[in-house]
């Protein structure tokens, strides 16, 4: 993914949380959107383009502690 790729949408962020098995209420997603979007964008920028959408964050299931 190039550095010119826009930040992910709220729907994309929700899909990442769902894939990871995390339940994030819509209100929390809206409240912390900028943090989640910039973090996911950074992870995507650090990923290898040739591998497609296999960023490190989706390689495991996470949980809130």
Q: Residues 9-64: pLDDT tens digits?
A: 999 999 989 988 899 999 999 999 999 999 888 877 776 666 555 555 555 555 55
33-46 and 10-19 helices, crossing angle to 10°: 70
pLDDT at 7: 82
pLDDT at 48: 63
pTM of the model: 0.62
Helices (H), 1-65: 10-19, 26-31, 33-46
pLDDT at 1: 44
């Amino acid at each position: 993914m190039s550095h010119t790729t826009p930040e992910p949408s709220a729907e994309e962020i929700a899909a990442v949380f769902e894939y990871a098995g995390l339940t994030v209420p819509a209100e929390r997603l809206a409240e912390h959107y900028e943090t989640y979007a910039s973090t996911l964008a950074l992870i995507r920028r650090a990923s290898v383009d040739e591998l497609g959408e296999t960023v490190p964050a989706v390689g495991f299931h996470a949980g809130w502690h």
